[in-house]
Amino acid sequence: MNDIFNFSNNILNWFHIYGRKKLPWVKNKNIYKIWISEIMLQQTQVKVVIPYFKKFIHKFPNIKKLSKSSLDEVLYIWSGLGFYKRAKNIYETSQIIKKKYNYQFPKNFNELINFPGIGKSTAGAILSLTYDYSFPILDGNVKRILKRFYNYKLKKYQLEKKLWKKINFLIPIHNCGKFNQALMDLGTLICKIKNPICIQCPLKIKCLFYKKKYYLKKINLKKNKKKNIKKCWFILLKYKNFFYLKQQKQNVWKNLYYFPMFFKKKKAIIWIQKNKLKFKKIKHTKKFLHHFNHYSFFIHLISVSINIKKKIKETKNIWFNIFKPPEIGIPSPVKKIFSSILEKNKKK
């Protein structure tokens, strides 16, 4: 019992002095805002999330406003944040809350874990951070702290089971929200993946990672592997200020609008010929890399200017006005290309 008290007490004391208490979703402890932030923070750092969160809440200040929007509007605000399945999960959850709960966000753990994108850890975070309910979290930061503190070396399934058992044992009855936030902050600021600052950690006295001086060794938890690079071609089909975009229905960038994309140059040329495009000029412009977690796209651009804005026989496509952009979701590389084109126009 003393160990539990020391662990949680040290964490809470550290949080009181060093914890992040001014995050935009922390104010007023609103369950809607906490939920949005927790979904955004899945696999994404706080500093990246903050501007997107502010923009999202400005556009959709409450569950009612969100549920009355369209998926395209949600993806438009989300564009550039990545992992777009999260945006779809948020939208689908808003529809469930609208129909089943009359716009009232449920406070029941067993109901929350049935919503799209909300597992045990996210549900625990939402309820503890909003209402101080005694539910633990087990995100990447917390896993790393516990693995190091207890020096666990187990297979993935056994480790997950062990960590849940341990965090359920350690979670205090009071100040659960602060405890969970403190663990997340400690993992981000001190117990980092690379180069942890062990000397500043409130748990170092009993931490096996610190006692065995692992922190002095060069830590490579994952060996740097060369990312798989896939070549692809974007067709930038342009008529005056309009660019042709189509909606992706599967795989990468699902539900977002992007340029016609091909993994062989020959297929890109066939697409141009098949649609009988009467073009003024066709040119191959710059190439650039776009990185995902486990692979990268080496994107080649084929710029095609046409005389007539032709109707192309593909479902869910639009002519995108670059100067009056519609509110639809577009992936980062498309955003980057449009920004580059607008920048060039400014200089003319």
pLDDT, tens digit, for every residue of 283-299?
A: 777 788 888 877 888 99
Q: What is the percentage of the chain residues whose pLDDT exceeds 70?
A: 93
Q: Which residues of 53-85 are buried (b: 16+ CB within 10 A; e: fewer)?
A: beebbeebeebeebbebebbbbbbbbbebbebe
How buried is residue 103: exposed, middle or buried, by Cβ count under 10 Å (0-12/13-18/19+)?
A: middle
Answer whether 284's CB lies under 8 Å from 291's CB: no
pTM score: 0.83
Distance CA 116, CA 106 (A): 14
Q: Residues 10-34: what's their mean pLDDT?
A: 93
What's the N-to-C CA distance of the chain in angstroms? Answer: 71
From the candidates 38, 92, 314, 327, give the one annotated as an active-site residue: 38
pLDDT number for residue 207: 93
Residue matched to tokens 């350690």: 170
pLDDT number for residue 105: 94
- Going by pLDDT thresholds of 50, 70 and 90, the confidence category of residue 1 is very low
Residue of 258, 198, 215 lying closest to 233 (CA atoms):
258
pLDDT number for residue 124: 96
Q: Is 73 a catalytic residue?
A: no
Beta strands in the chain (DSSP E): 228-239, 242-247, 257-258, 261-262, 279-291, 295-306, 317-321
pLDDT tens digits for range 91-118: 999 999 999 999 999 999 999 999 999 9
Show the domains of the chain with their CATH numbers. 2-216 (1.10.340.30), 228-347 (3.90.79.10)
Answer whether 268's CB lies under 8 Å from 232's CB: no
Residue matched to tokens 């796209």: 297
pLDDT tens digits for range 228-245: 888 999 999 988 889 999
